[in-house]
Amino acid sequence: MEKKFIGAGLLSGLVAGILAFVFARIYIEPLVERAIGYEEGFGHAELDVAGGDAGHDHGELFSRTVQQNWGAGTGTVVFGLIIGALFAVAFTVVWSYVGRRHPRVDPRVVAALLAVGGFVAVYLVPFSAYPANPPAVGSDDTIGARSGAYLTILLLSVAFLAAATVLAFWLAPRVGGVLSAVAGGVSYLIAVGISIALLPSFDEVPGPLLDGNVIVFPGFPADLIGDFRYYSIVNQVILWGVLGLGFALSLTWIGKRAARGAGATTPRESVR
């Protein structure tokens, strides 16, 4: 059964990755193009102010066409496959406990809750600490620090969610399902809130370029940052939503096929 779960996770992750890429290609890539245009314009303006030569060209290893199609597509699909495989492993672990202790629980509900938890822990919490930024936002000197801080809150968020889940399961027989879920959720929020407060913050949105008191080039457009972050969130909602829905549908198919083979069990019971 575990192999079927892994297969379901990979298939769901593949579909989720493809759909997420299509969305990003339509809605996010134009924003990236605008950001790159701003970055180039800002660079030329800096050279003009400094009296340098703005006519030189920075060569790229891969063209923008390759980057925004094959590069982004491959990266998004591979990410979807990895997340799908990890999702299947997490579901197998959680379901091995829940299915045994609570036989009436529908595995598709567990898959849906796991998808919501994954979206919150893997994306939403790290995003709230370090929102996604388009090109030209952020200093080259702080790339290492920003990457390290983001990875730190990501790992802490996942670890805190796992700990909160264990706490909720431990409290459930003692205080009931609702109170245990509330206790686990509140504990998670407190832990990530303290962690975010202790981690460094970065505010590196380019302001206007000045030559004395004269604005030579405007600051980075606020609407571009807002749209980029909004569509980034929607993109991840699509990824995790399709992953959870696809996995739940796969569980239905796995259960029905197992039920036909057993001849005496219901599809839900066949997933156990």
- Cβ neighbors of 165 (< 8 A, separation 6 or more) are 94, 117, 184
Q: Say if 213 falls within a structural domain.
A: no
Same domain, 14 and 106: yes
DSSP state of 209: E
Same domain, 75 and 147: no
pLDDT at 61: 61
Q: Say if 263 falls within a structural domain.
A: yes
CB 216 within 8 A of CB 207: no
For the cut 60, the answer to whether the pLDDT of residue 270 exceeds it is no
For the cut 50, the answer to whether the pLDDT of residue 252 exceeds it is yes
Phi, psi of 39 (to 5 degrees): -60, -45
Q: Say if 78 falls within a structural domain.
A: yes
Same domain, 17 and 152: no
Same domain, 237 and 185: no
Same domain, 231 and 244: yes
Q: Say if 39 falls within a structural domain.
A: no
DSSP state of 215: E
Token output for 230: 């909004």
| Mean of pLDDT values over 158-178 | 91
Same domain, 97 and 9: yes
Token output for 86: 């990890």
- Cβ neighbors of 204 (< 8 A, separation 6 or more) are 137, 138, 139, 142
pLDDT (tens digit, 9 = 90+) per residue, 98-133? 877 777 888 999 999 999 999 999 999 999 999 999
DSSP state of 220: P
**At which of 159, 175, 204 does a domain end?**
204
pLDDT (tens digit, 9 = 90+) per residue, 66-99? 777 787 889 999 999 999 999 999 999 998 888 7
- Domains identified in the chain, total number: 2
Q: Could you identify the residue written with the tokens 């703005």?
A: 54
CB 199 within 8 A of CB 129: yes
Helix axis angle for 72-101 and 222-262, nearest 10°, is 50
On average, the pLDDT of the chain sits at 87
pLDDT band of 240, cuts 50, 70, 90? very high
SS3 label, residue 234: helix
pLDDT band of 55, cuts 50, 70, 90? very low
| Mean of pLDDT values over 174-191 | 92
Same domain, 104 and 181: no
Q: What percent of the chain has pLDDT over 70?
A: 89
For the cut 80, the answer to whether the pLDDT of residue 231 exceeds it is yes
Q: Say if 55 falls within a structural domain.
A: no
Q: Specify the long-range contacts of residues 51-56, CB closer than 8 Å, at least 24 apart.
A: none
Q: Which of 29-38, 133-142, 179-188 has the lowest mean pLDDT?
A: 133-142
Q: Say if 49 falls within a structural domain.
A: no
Same domain, 124 and 160: no
Same domain, 117 and 237: yes
Q: Say if 129 falls within a structural domain.
A: yes
**At which of 147, 176, 204 does a domain end?**
204
pLDDT at 62: 61
Q: Which domain holds residue 158?
A: 138-204
Amino acid type, 119: F
| Mean of pLDDT values over 215-241 | 94
| Mean of pLDDT values over 258-264 | 61
**At which of 171, 204, 237 does a domain end?**
204
Q: Say if 46 falls within a structural domain.
A: no
Same domain, 168 and 239: no
pLDDT at 19: 97
pLDDT at 56: 47
- Maximum alpha-carbon separation in the chain: 83
DSSP string, 54-66: TT-----SS-HHH
pLDDT at 129: 95
248, burial (CB in 10 Å: exposed 0-12, middle 13-18, buried 19+): buried
pLDDT at 264: 47
| Mean of pLDDT values over 177-205 | 93
> d(Cα 172, Cα 182) in Å, to the nearest integer?
10
Same domain, 127 and 160: no
pLDDT band of 13, cuts 50, 70, 90? very high
Same domain, 125 and 241: yes
271 or 166: which leads in pLDDT:
166
